Amino acid sequence: MKRKHKRLTFAAIGLCLLGIAAALVLTAFEESIVFFHSPTDIAEGKVKIDRRVRLGGLVEEGSVKKQAGAVTAFRITDGANVIDVTYRGILPDLFREGQGVVTEGRLQGGLFVAEEVLAKHDENYMPPEVADALKKSGRWQEGSGKGDAAK
């Protein structure tokens, strides 16, 4: 084998190894990336079943129900659509009806099973993703930090 062919062979092997490494890294990122969706996105079928996602919106008034085994059921709305959510565990102290919330979990047959619940920081804070979803639905009230969907 000529010296030129040896160099081309090494270069081809190096490119193949680099491609495999890039594919493995991209696959690992895809598994760990969690996208934010609103209840409308889920209602429109934009979310794959059994994929970990973030769901945000307002906790619907009168929807929070404590169940046996530290399970809490509630509904999240963006003003246009409502998604039923269940969560097993202790809710954050700032979790209340009518307030913004972001949950992380999986959609299972129309029910969102939350594995983590994040509540807002103060009275005027709204997670940017929730604010964007409320603005898209036309339920955002400027200056108040919350939408009118819970009224």
From first to last of its 151 residues, the chain has per-residue pLDDT tens of 788 899 999 999 999 999 999 999 988 887 778 888 989 888 888 887 778 899 988 899 999 999 988 899 999 998 889 999 999 999 988 888 888 899 999 988 889 999 999 886 665 667 777 778 888 877 776 655 444 443 3
pLDDT attached to residue 20: 96
Angle, vertex CA 94, rays to CA 39 and CA 125, nearest 5: 70
- 52, 106 Cβ separation under 8 angstroms: yes
- 105, 118 Cβ separation under 8 angstroms: no
pLDDT attached to residue 62: 92
pLDDT attached to residue 122: 61
DSSP 62: T
Bridge partners of residue 90, in order along the sequence? none
pLDDT attached to residue 150: 37
Instruction: Give 89-97 contacts, CB < 8 A, sequence gap 24+.
Output: 89/117, 91/117, 91/119, 92/117, 92/118, 92/119, 93/119, 94/119, 94/120, 94/121, 95/59, 95/119, 96/59, 97/59, 97/60, 97/61, 97/62, 97/63, 97/64, 97/150
